[in-house]
């Protein structure tokens, strides 16, 4: 997931800095690519510093960088991204710093089953609330063996928050109803 951060960076004598991004920035857990940017000014050289385990992957010296956060664990990284600009005269701007929050949600599904073919539909429960269930036999937030047929089926629960998507999967088994032959008399 890419984040485009606009930070207006002007030299202190020209104007005050104006942030247009919520601090901290939210990045999805194990995101390989995020983009951070300030408006480009001709003649400026930009110096970016990214706190480990973030890694700058592109844009060194320019007004925009790519950062790989995939090695970062969940939680807040204070002073994660900092940028300064140097003009042709060698004057250095006041640093602009952004904290980054690595968001991880671990959804869970309450196990159900096994079922017999034709069993009544069962309400599915997942946490955190507000996610979406999908899979064979899933109708809304219910699993219906009458819809799935017999077999073992994966059910997925997907939670989306702040543009980040996380999933959990569990298997549900529906067994066939035994079939008997007519009673025989000897």
pLDDT at residue number 75: 97
Predicted local confidence at residue 21, as pLDDT: 67
- pLDDT surpassing 60 at residue 2: no
Extended beta strands in 60-140, E state:
64-68, 75-86, 96-103, 108-109, 115-116, 122-123, 126-127, 132-134, 138-139
The tokens describing 106, both together, are 């671990």
47-65 pLDDT tens trace: 999 999 999 999 999 999 9
- pLDDT tens for 74-117 read 999 999 999 999 999 999 999 999 999 999 999 999 999 999 99
Enter the pTM of the model.
0.76
């Amino acid at each position: 997931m890419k984040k485009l951060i606009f930070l207006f960076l002007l030299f202190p004598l020209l104007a005050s800095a104006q942030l247009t991004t919520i601090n901290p920035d939210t990045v999805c857990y194990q995101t390989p690519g995020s983009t951070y940017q300030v408006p480009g000014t001709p003649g400026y050289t930009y110096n970016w510093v990214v706190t480990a385990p973030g890694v700058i992957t592109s844009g060194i010296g320019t007004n925009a960088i790519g950062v790989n956060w995939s090695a970062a664990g969940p939680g807040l990284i204070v002073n994660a991204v900092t940028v300064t600009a140097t003009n042709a005269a060698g004057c250095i701007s006041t640093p602009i710093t952004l904290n980054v929050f690595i968001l991880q949600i671990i959804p869970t599904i309450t196990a159900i089953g096994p079922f017999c073919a034709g069993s009544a539909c069962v309400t599915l429960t997942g946490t955190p609330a507000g996610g979406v269930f999908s899979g064979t036999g899933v109708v809304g937030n219910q699993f219906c063996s009458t819809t799935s047929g017999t077999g073992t089926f994966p059910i997925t629960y997907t939670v989306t928050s702040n543009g980040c998507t996380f999933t959990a999967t569990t298997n549900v088994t529906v067994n066939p109803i035994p079939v008997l032959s007519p009673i025989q008399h000897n």
